Structure 1
Amino acid sequence: MDKWEENLGNTREQLLHEISSVGFDEFNRRVELNKWSIAQVCHHLVISEKLFTKAIMVGLEQKNPPEAEHMPVHFVSDRSNKIQAPKISEPSSEPFQVLQITQLLNDSRNKFMDILGQIDDKSVLKVIAAKHPIFGCLPLDQWVELLYLHEQRHIEQIIDLKSLC
């Protein structure tokens, strides 16, 4: 198992653990009007993962992919660095059931892993890049790394939200 597979698996396991015992009201409660609920954080993660999957697919399909340097994406892990979610990844304001979000998370992860599983030579992920809304031209292997770093960031947010309920 690759390191990124292990990190993706461990992070998702932690996310599912954090939301598994949350009731419907707590899951959908917004502690402040301008803050997301736990459900919205999770829905944002589903949307983001779908967008990451699409970005990797587009990157792999490019005839002349742009070259890109590796970026310091680890700053995403530090929640003191405020990052505005791109409009395209903003969650729905509709309420969600935990089971419904769990299924959406499972579906998006399965699609993401299917795409990665179709790549015979994973080293191409280091040399092919796709445009990221925050980092610009980002090598595909960093899209994979960013996925679990982004999820870890939001797990911390969920833990904070649970402590406020």
Structure 2
Amino acid sequence: MNKLANDNLYETRNNLVKEITLLSDAQFNSKPDMTKWSIAQVCHHLVLVEEASIKAIAWGLKEIDSTQKERKKVHLILDRTKKIKAPKIVEPDVEPFKVQQIIDLLNDSRKKLMTFLSTIEDKSILAEKSVKHPAFGELPLDQWIEQLYLHEQRHIEQIKEIKLLLDARR
């Protein structure tokens, strides 16, 4: 994994934690309306996506077929006017969470990701192999890593919006 991707993963996660650290558990679990996720659910979704991505990358690495797949415009995930329905596997729990509990889960999933990535000796293979992504179709494995922090940035913007909506209701 290149240094830029590593820095982006680190910086984006720090920004996410900054956004949620000072929230009360009540604010954290409050929904702007019944059809939307709470900030806690958004964060739980991010944990589930990171864990699912580790599995997808691991699975992709085991594939024998390594035909070069087309690079995708993964930065398009930042366009929040385009709604993307979360696959069932990464839908968050409806149960309330404590802020610290989610921070621990986020730290744990990131540690698993970084540990897993550190086991890949030849990182160039990540650009050569691909696996199907729910939003992008066949996606090179290195772009799975890139879309992790872009996806997280997308949801940080969503969290900021939810905070504004919750503040407006006070």
The verdict on a shared fold, with TM-score over 0.5 as the criterion, is yes
Which runs of structure 1 show a deviation greater than 6 angstroms over 4 or more consecutive aligned residues?
none
Identity across matched positions, percent? 52
Partner of 1:162: 163
Partner of 2:45: 44
**Distance in 1 of aligned mates of 2:29 and 2:43:** 11
**Distance in 1 of aligned mates of 2:131 and 2:43:** 24
CA drift of 1:134 comes to 1.6
Partner of 1:10: 11
Unaligned runs of 5+ in 1: none
**8 Å contact from structure 1 (residues 66, 130) kept in 2:** no
**Distance in 2 of aligned mates of 1:98 and 1:112:** 21
Partner of 1:107: 108
Partner of 2:31: 30
> How much is the aligned-residue C-alpha RMSD, in angstroms?
1.1
TM-score normalised by length of structure 1: 0.97
**8 Å contact from structure 1 (residues 59, 65) kept in 2:** no
Partner of 1:91: 92
**Distance in 1 of aligned mates of 2:60 and 2:116:** 12
**Distance in 1 of aligned mates of 2:80 and 2:61:** 31
Q: Bigger shift: 145-154 or 55-64?
A: 55-64
Unaligned runs of 5+ in 2: none
**Distance in 2 of aligned mates of 1:136 and 1:117:** 26
**Distance in 2 of aligned mates of 1:136 and 1:66:** 15
CA drift of 1:64 comes to 2.4
**Distance in 1 of aligned mates of 2:147 and 2:8:** 11
2:152 maps to 1:144: no
**8 Å contact from structure 2 (residues 69, 128) kept in 1:** yes
CA drift of 1:164 comes to 1.5
Q: Bigger shift: 32-41 or 132-141?
A: 132-141
**Distance in 2 of aligned mates of 1:156 and 1:125:** 28
The total of aligned residue pairs comes to 165
CA drift of 1:66 comes to 5.0
**Distance in 2 of aligned mates of 1:79 and 1:66:** 32
3-state SS of 2:71 partner: coil
**Distance in 2 of aligned mates of 1:164 and 1:136:** 33
CA drift of 1:137 comes to 0.9
Q: In the TM superposition, what are the counterparts of 1:103-142 in structure 2 within 5 Å?
A: 103-142=104-143
What do the CA deviations read for 1:14-47 (whole angstroms, capped 9, x no partner)? 0000000000110000111110000000000000
TM-score normalised by length of structure 2: 0.94
**Distance in 1 of aligned mates of 2:97 and 2:90:** 17
